[in-house]
Chains A and B, each alone.
Chain A
Amino acid sequence: MANSDNNRRKFFATTLQSVGLTALGGLLWSGYSDEVKASPLVLRPPGAIKENDFLTACIKCGLCAEACQNRDTNVDKETGLQKEGTLKMAKGGDHRLIGTPYFIPTEVPCYMCEDIPCVPVCPSGALDQLSVSNEKEELDINAARMGLAVVHKESCIAYWGIQCDACYRACPLLGDAITIETQKNDRTGKHAFMLPIVHDDVCTGCGLCEKACVTEKPAIFVLPMDVSKGVAGDHYVKGWDKKDQLRAGDRDLEEIETKTKLSEKPASDYLNTEVEY
């Protein structure tokens, strides 16, 4: 009797111990997994779904990186040898979720291949082919949104008044994703500033501008879309833009009025009324 009592006690003790240790392991494991997810400044391949979903979906197979590395165009024209591909697979110590593909524009930017070899090979759905396709469902790399280039104007020598249009020239969507805006240079009185302006509805985030930038640390650089974009919020709506008005909740496109009526009262009436406090 006493023996079976002992056994039972032992059984409960070991069970409790197992459950407790499992819970401990689960907490540590969850904490670690959650931490390694936090790397918001990573540029992903074209067609990558939203970063948080991407981290879930990517099965870390590396097929995209292999397709990028071995694309036909990735050959040194002089030596005939394979060059380093754009996409890298995150290793331990890269401080990005291990095994996921990413690229660093200053090392190898995305050359925006028209056949986009990296996307159709993705087996898991982490790279979405539809997001890099046009209406006819043909691959269209111009639809990619890997990131958005931003200009730090204090270090951009074009903003100093020195003539440089390296980023503008390097841009695969020259004249669309980056345009040059001219402004009078009052300091010299006879020159123009030629300022690079990035347009977020066209820029794919390929990073060729960042690679081409002549300053010591690039004055134009690509950040993930979510990071480089601001959000005006629903309380700021363009009153003159019918489409933008739709953002402000349920509205009928037909009924939206984009002009404000002028007051019918003469200005003098308003100026001469007694002010009441």
Chain B
Amino acid sequence: MSNIKYLLLRRATQIGLLVLYFGANAYGWHILEGTFGSSLLFGTIPLADPYTTLQVLATGFVLGTDVLLGALIITFFYFIVGGRAFCSWVCPINMVTDLANWLRRKLKLDKEEVNYRFLKRSARYWIMVLGLIVSAVVGIAAFEVLSPITIMQRGIVFGFGAGIAVIIAIFLFDLFGVKNGWCGHLCPLGASYSLIGKASLIRVKHDHEACTNCMECKVVCPENQVLHMINKESISVTDGECTNCGRCIDVCGDDALGFSIRSFGNK
């Protein structure tokens, strides 16, 4: 069981949140209402997605204070505590892309390393900036018209319609197209959380002494470039792209990886 501890915790969190959102519409619960774009916690505390908020602001529309306050609360939370935890602990698309990635390994689709010339992991930051520019030009929150994240969430809460096609497309893209294609290369929302969570407190720490260099962690990690210290030195993972998913900790048989509070003294 210990090798899927964080995986189970994450699934429980993701599904639990979706159940709360679903219940808000279906049964009138006042625990977590709305969608990730903007929510209401316990009927009083506003929450809002920072990147969504930025897109609307980029159009020049003066947003209501509830959304602005909500975006500040979320930004603060991930900035101080969670890092890019939204992606692996909250986002429902994570379940889709994780499934695709797992299938990729099972079907042995990854035997050859392919160098995607046009699709670098940095593409998401370009897309993030581009999303703001398009929002400003067209006058509409540009990523929100095609975001599979909220399409999936609204699908679960209000019904999917043809929106299910977007989810299937992401699945196929990650399975047969680019490995970690959506979450690791394209998603501008993930990019925004990477930037926000760069300095957060909760970090994965590597223990060089305990590591036996089996590289299991690098196999499961969806952003394995962040694990550059494996078998090199005992430091924390400090890259913003790490989603704090804890899969590396789960699969490590040597206790060489674990969550810790970031230490600022040494590097």
Q: Which residue numbers of A lie inside 8 Å of B, CB to CB?
A: 17-18, 21-22, 25-26, 29-30, 32-34, 36-37, 52-53, 55-57, 59-63, 65-66, 69-70, 82, 88-89, 91-94, 97-99, 121-125
B119 to chain A, nearest CB (A): 10
Q: How close is B168's CB to chain A, nearest CB, in angstroms? A: 11
9-residue interface stretch from B4-12, B83-91, B148-156, B206-214:
B148-156
Instruction: List which B116-163 residues lie within 8 A (CB) of chain A.
Output: 118, 126-127, 130-131, 133-134, 137-142, 144-146, 150-151, 154-155, 157-163
- The answer to whether A59 and B161 touch (CB under 8 A), given A26-B133, A97-B145, is no
Interface members, chain B 151-208 (any A CB < 8 Å): 151, 154-155, 157-166
Q: Are B140 and A56 in contact (CB under 8 A)?
A: yes
A61-B35, A65-B158, A93-B162 known; A37+B25 contact, CB < 8 A? no
Asked if B82 lies at the interface with its beta carbon under 8 angstroms from chain A, I say: no
B252 within 8 A of partner (CB): no
> Given contacts A62-B34, A123-B70, are A29 and B142 in contact (CB under 8 A)?
yes
- Interface pick from B61-69, B221-229, B235-243: B61-69
Q: How far is the CA of A154 from the CA of B265 in the complex (A)?
A: 82
- Expressed in whole angstroms, the minimum distance between the Cβ of B61 and any Cβ of chain A is 5
A-B pairs, 3 with minimum CB distance:
A91-B161, A93-B162, A92-B163
- For residue B68, give the distance in angstroms from its CB to the closest CB of chain A: 9
Q: Write the nearest CB–CB distance from B153 to chain A, whole angstroms.
A: 9
Of the residues A22, A53, A59, contact of B130 by C-beta under 8 Å: A22
- Chain A residue nearest to B34 (CB atoms) is A61
Q: Name the contact of A91 in the complex, choosing from B53, B139, B154 (C-beta under 8 A).
A: B154
Smallest CB separation, B129 vs chain A (Å) = 9
Q: Is the CB of B127 within 8 A of A33?
A: no
Name the one of B63, B134, B144 contacting A29, with C-beta atoms under 8 angstroms: B134
Which residue of B126, B139, B142, B151 is within 8 Å of A92 (Cβ)? B151
B52–A30 CB distance below 8 A: no
A38 to B237, CA, bound (A): 46
Residue among A52, A59, A99, A123 with the most chain B CB within 10 A? A59
Task: Report yes or no: A70 in contact with B139, Cβ–Cβ below 8 A.
Answer: no
B93 shortest CB reach to chain A, Å: 15
Q: What separation, in Å, do the CA atoms of A36 and B60 have in the docked complex?
A: 19
Measured between alpha carbons, how far is A96 from B138 in the docked complex, in Å? 17
- Tell whether, in the assembled complex, residue A60 and residue B154 are in contact, meaning their CB atoms are under 8 Å apart: yes
> B24's contact among A29, A37, A66, A89, by CB below 8 Å, is which?
A66
Q: Scan residues 17-42 of chain B and give those whose CB is less than 8 A from a CB of chain A.
A: 24-25, 27-28, 33-35, 37-40
Which residues does chain A contribute within 8 Å of B141, judged by CB atoms?
A: 56, 59
Decide: A57 near B139, CB < 8 A? Known: A92-B160, A123-B70: no
Known A89-B154, A91-B159: A56·B130 in contact at CB below 8 Å: no
Q: Are B48 and A59 in contact (CB under 8 A)?
A: yes
Known A29-B134, A57-B61, A59-B144; 20 more pairs at CB < 8 Å: A22-B130, A26-B133, A32-B146, A33-B140, A37-B138, A56-B140, A60-B144, A61-B37, A65-B158, A66-B34, A69-B28, A91-B154, A91-B159, A92-B166, A93-B161, A99-B145, A123-B66, A124-B38, A124-B67, A125-B63
Cα distance, A45 to B176, chains bound together (Å): 42
Contacts of A70 in B (CB 8 A): 25, 27-28
CA A188 – CA B52 in complex, angstroms?
A: 64
In the complex, which residues of chain B have a beta carbon less than 8 angstroms from the beta carbon of A97? 140, 145
